[in-house]
Amino acid sequence: MSYIKEKFKVKADELSTEVKDLLKNHGSKVIGDVTIAQAYQGMRGITGLVTETSLLDANEGIRFRGYSIPELRDNLPKAVGGAEPLPEGLFYLMLMGELPTEADVQHLSSVWARRSHVPNHVFDAIEALPITTHPMTMFNVGIMALQTESLFAKAYAEGINKKDYWSYMYEDSMNLIARLPRVAAYIYRRKYKNGQHIQPDGLLDWGSNFAHMLGYDDEGFKELMRLYMTIHADHEGGNVSAHTTHLVGSALSDAYQSFAAGMNGLAGPLHGLANQEVIRWILAMQEELGGGTPTKEQIEKYVRKTLADGKVVPGYGHAVLRKTDPRFTAQMEFAKKHLPEDELVKIVWMVYDVVPGVLTELGKAKNPWPNVDAHSGALLVHYGMVEYEFYTVLFGVSRALGVLASLCWDRALGLSIERPKSVTTEWMKNFVEGKVEASAE
Ligand SMILES: CC(=O)SCCNC(=O)CCNC(=O)[C@H](O)C(C)(C)COP(=O)(O)OP(=O)(O)OC[C@H]1O[C@@H](n2cnc3c(N)ncnc32)[C@H](O)[C@@H]1OP(=O)(O)O
Ligand SMILES: O=C([O-])CC(=O)C(=O)O
């Protein structure tokens, strides 16, 4: 057993004991009430999930095992000559709950490089789709085709003790993370670069090897990839992609099936697809105005028109956050350092000056501030990745780090199949009239 796996097992046994004690001594303690509005409106504010890897504060933003994004950028190991954290280090932190050493990160880089082989039938499955297929659909087909490699599914079919589920989930998760960049890069090169594929370079770290396979070998893009892969990885457990992965995994679906389910959620425009929508929205605004940099007045007019047309302003608002997303700020800082004169980036910053005021004035959105998706596309365009339909695939590769670390914990803690109670509107009406009672079961 690898030393990381062994260490995870020790930590998992410790936490399992603590959770058992918590359940035995405090299991019936109430942590919240549920209102009728919450049942109809996306369960906002209901605490009903346990996710170890990260925790969100509405005003401060995400913390990964207690570390904010600026703290991660200071404390996680970097590539030689690089300033951004290596995503391998974030995975280690999320899995283990402690910061990695340089050696831990190098170990993970080499383990993932070693496990990155993707069987040919996965590429064949992607090739069977029309070239016009959305990259997120290709991505999901690729992930599902990889499911033939699931060690958990094979072991379960042969019959394993439930105490060992975590071990197979760990192996599947490590293999899937190792393979995703190759699948994603294959999709990109197939769809946008005439199928001229680039072989992996096993000597590179995970993020720069991904950049290399995509066809972007300059150091600036590699740094961006490391930052991008780090900040998109996790956002506690209730967001659509993390919750879906956890939910499907709770039925003992394997890592491939669970992650694919999560990725179908990420592909929705109110979630991960918003990053492509931001660039599409800015380009459409520029086109309508005849190109060039718009004025703030023109941006404001376009925002009001978007809202009047019954559409959302992509990249703004959030289900939980109530301030500017620190992931937006991290990308803004990256841009100020590396590409302060970029025209599209400047437009993103002008939009940031305008949108919160308009959304606040209209008073409907609970959070008028930008989220992670408001900035990411402009950085990618700067380095030449203009194919915005691909952006959510990048998000998905990163999200694998968080949701798969969480799946390892789910199986290590032996979490139950998820099955909350639902009721009908007729039940709600009867409840209001006192004809039925809410049940604790
Ligand atoms: C990685 C991520 O997933 S980050 C989020 C990415 N998504 C986007 O950027 C899409 C644009 N934003 C939105 O649609 C929303 O803000 C969401 C989906 C992120 C959050 O949704 P909610 O929690 O329901 O937001 P909230 O409670 O503030 O919504 C209240 C009203 O304001 C509207 N609203 C919220 N944000 C926006 C926005 N950016 N533009 C226009 N209207 C908005 C909602 O559509 C809703 O309108 P309704 O009452 O007519 O249905
Ligand atoms: O937390 C959410 O609901 C959405 C989000 O920002 C993410 O998943 O990264």
212 labelled catalytic: no
Q: Which pTM does this prediction carry?
A: 0.98
Mean pLDDT of 17-34: 97
Express each pLDDT in 130-170 by its tens digit: 999 999 999 999 999 999 999 999 999 999 999 999 999 99
Closest of 249, 231, 234, 238 to residue 50, by C-alpha: 238
pLDDT surpasses 90 at 1: no
Mean pLDDT of 242-270: 98
Q: Could you tell me the pLDDT band of residue 381, with boundaries at 50, 70 and 90?
A: very high
Q: Could you tell me the pLDDT band of residue 403, with boundaries at 50, 70 and 90?
A: very high
pLDDT at 438: 86
Mean pLDDT of 57-71: 97
Q: Could you tell me the pLDDT band of residue 439, with boundaries at 50, 70 and 90?
A: confident
Mean pLDDT of 13-23: 98
Express each pLDDT in 66-76 by its tens digit: 999 999 999 99
Interface predicted TM-score of the whole assembly (ipTM), two decimals: 0.99
Selected catalytic residue, list 104, 205, 234, 373 = 373
Ligand 2 pocket check: which of 320, 367, 406 to mutate, most ligand atoms within 8 Å of Cβ? 320
Mean pLDDT of 51-73: 97
Selected catalytic residue, list 318, 375, 382, 410 = 318
Selected catalytic residue, list 271, 325, 375, 382 = 271
CB under 6 Å to ligand 1: residues?
270-272, 274, 307, 312-319, 364-367, 371-373
373 labelled catalytic: yes
Mean pLDDT of 100-116: 96
pLDDT at 440: 54
Domains of the chain with CATH codes: 112-272+391-413 (1.10.580.10), 274-382 (1.10.230.10)
